[in-house]
Amino acid sequence: MAIEIFNRYEHKYKLDTETLKKALSVIEKHMELDGYCKNHSLYTIANIYYDTPDDALIRASLSRPAYKEKMRLRSYGVPNENSEVFLEIKKKVEGLVNKRRTTLRLGEAYEFIKSGKAPEIMNYMNPQVVHELEYFLANYDLSPKVYIAYDRLAYFEKGNDDLRISFDTNIRTRRYDVALEKGDYGEKLLGDGIWLMEIKTSTAKPLWLCDMLSALELRKVQFSKYGTEYKHVLQGGARRYHRAELLKHAV
pLDDT tops 60 at residue 249: no
Is residue 236 situated within a structural domain?
no
By C-alpha distance, which of 151, 71, 64, 62 is closest to 104?
71
Residue 106 maps to a domain: yes
Q: Is residue 24 part of a domain?
A: yes
Tell me how many domains the chain contains. 1
Examine residue 249 and state whether it is found in any structural domain, yes or no: no
Q: Whole domain around residue 202: which residue ranges?
A: 5-222
Residue 199: how many other CB atoms lie within 10 Å: 19
CB 118 within 8 Å of CB 112: yes
Does 177 fall in a domain? yes
List, for residues 52-68, the tens digit of each pLDDT value: 999 999 999 999 899 99
Q: Look at residue 45 and tell me whether its pLDDT is greater than 80.
A: yes
Q: Is residue 76 part of a domain?
A: yes
User: Over 70: is that where the pLDDT of 242 sits?
Assistant: no
Residue 104 placed within a domain: yes
**Residue 192 falls inside a structural domain:** yes
pTM for the complete prediction? 0.90
**Distances in Å between the alpha carbon of 143 and those of 49, 83, 110, 116, 175?**
8, 21, 10, 11, 12
As a whole number of angstroms, the distance between CA 108 and CA 113 comes to 9
pLDDT digits (tens, 9 = 90+) for 171-221: 999 999 999 999 999 999 999 999 999 999 998 899 999 999 999 999 999
Question: At 128, which CATH number?
Answer: 3.20.100.30
